[in-house]
């Protein structure tokens, strides 16, 4: 099926795909449409539209944040700032939408535009070297019933079904519409050996709590001619110590607060931000997949670093 045919198919399916909307009111001076989501499919299509695109496309998010440390008995400490690019590739397939994701983060000082090579961790007095992590490729297949996640062995896993239908919690205030996703638990078992990595090992489980929010415009979600709605984006995450902070098993945790937006195209990023990210992750903006395989900080750290001396 050609791209033109796919887009034509999406357009002809517009009436069914936008059944969660009140009648169109395109006049900018008129009140914004009140969005409703009566079916699982309406939740799926609206979420894909605000997260990525309903058509074959490459989508970039840029967000900036702060990495803070919280230890018992002390005020939170701002350690470093971050700039992150999320790249999503959307492919329309017979089953629905296959979405691939890659993520690239660079740590830097407050207001600085160069990757941070090292700094003194104020919590332990050690000179530490930030590990500018990358993650992906992750893949999700979105059908009318919701998302299924592609495992490393090629199988699909879904939390949703007839007894647990996919649905987002949508909020609307005037022109703005937003929805959030929350997850928490054990991301992985800690891959580092505490005997060999005593300063990098922070406990047996990689614990985390995460909430992401996408915020868009009601008129764009209501317009069937728009395949990719504009959106702002925020991530708030609590997690155990990154290994490069050399905190060992000291009580406490990290808080990563970020916010940003879905870029209209890859050229919308500023020259300074693009230079910052490409200094560490030169392939994230390329025309091809930025890297192959399934990478994350925990798979790459033991390959690129050696244990620090106690």
Mean pLDDT, residues 68-76 taken together: 96
The model's confidence at residue 154, banded by pLDDT at 50, 70 and 90, is confident
Q: How does pLDDT run across 272-292, given as a tens digit for each residue?
A: 999 999 999 999 999 999 999
**pLDDT at residue 25 is higher than 60:** no
Q: What is the Cα–Cα distance from 188 to 3, expressed in whole angstroms?
A: 38
**pLDDT at residue 30 is higher than 90:** no
Q: What is the mean pLDDT of the chain?
A: 90
Q: How does pLDDT run across 167-225, given as a tens digit for each residue?
A: 999 999 999 999 999 999 998 999 999 999 999 999 999 999 999 999 999 999 999 99
310 within domain boundaries: no
The reported pTM is 0.88
What does the pLDDT read at residue 22?
45
Would you state the structure tokens that stand for residue 305, as one six-digit string? 């670093």
The model's confidence at residue 162, banded by pLDDT at 50, 70 and 90, is confident
Domain that holds residue 55: 3-304
CA nearest neighbour of 216 among 16, 90, 51, 87: 51
Q: Are 230 and 177 in contact (CB under 8 A)?
A: no
49 within domain boundaries: yes
209 within domain boundaries: yes
Q: Are 260 and 64 in contact (CB under 8 A)?
A: yes
149 within domain boundaries: yes
Mean pLDDT, residues 111-140 taken together: 97
Q: How does pLDDT run across 31-65, given as a tens digit for each residue?
A: 899 999 999 999 999 999 999 999 999 999 999 99
309 within domain boundaries: no
**What's the structural domain count of the chain?**
1
Q: How does pLDDT run across 218-271, given as a tens digit for each residue?
A: 999 999 999 999 999 999 999 999 999 999 999 999 999 999 999 999 999 999
What does the pLDDT read at residue 28?
57
Q: Are 65 and 78 in contact (CB under 8 A)?
A: no
CA nearest neighbour of 209 among 243, 240, 184: 184
What does the pLDDT read at residue 27?
53
């Amino acid at each position: 099926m050609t791209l033109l045919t796919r887009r034509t198919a999406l357009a002809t399916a517009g009436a069914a795909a936008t059944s969660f909307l009140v009648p169109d009111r395109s006049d900018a001076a008129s009140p914004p449409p009140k969005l409703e989501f009566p079916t699982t499919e309406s939740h799926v299509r609206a979420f894909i539209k605000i997260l990525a695109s309903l058509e074959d496309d490459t989508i970039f998010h840029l967000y900036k944040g702060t990495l803070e440390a919280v230890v018992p008995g002390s005020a939170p400490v701002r350690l470093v700032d971050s700039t992150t690019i999320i790249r999503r590739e959307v492919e329309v397939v017979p089953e629905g939408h296959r979405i691939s994701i890659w993520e690239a983060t660079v740590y830097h000082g407050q207001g600085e535009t160069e990757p941070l090579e090292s700094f003194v961790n104020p919590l332990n007095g050690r000179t530490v070297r930030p590990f500018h992590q990358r993650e992906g490729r992750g893949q999700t297949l979105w059908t009318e019933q919701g998302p299924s996640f592609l495992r490393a062995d090629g199988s699909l896993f879904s939390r949703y079904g007839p007894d647990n239908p996919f649905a987002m919690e949508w909020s609307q205030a005037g022109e703005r519409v937003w929805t959030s996703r929350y997850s928490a638990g054990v991301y992985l078992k800690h891959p580092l050996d505490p005997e060999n990595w005593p300063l990098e090992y922070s406990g047996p489980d990689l614990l985390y709590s995460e909430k992401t929010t996408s915020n868009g415009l009601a008129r764009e979600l209501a317009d069937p001619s728009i395949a990719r709605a504009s959106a702002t984006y925020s991530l708030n995450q609590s997690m155990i110590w990154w290994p490069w902070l050399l905190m060992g098993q000291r009580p406490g945790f990290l808080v990563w607060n970020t916010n940003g937006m879905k870029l209209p195209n890859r050229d919308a990023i500023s020259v300074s931000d693009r230079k910052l990210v490409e200094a560490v992750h030169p392939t994230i903006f390329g025309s091809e997949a930025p890297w192959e395989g399934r990478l994350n900080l925990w798979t790459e750290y033991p390959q690129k670093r050696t244990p620090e001396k106690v």
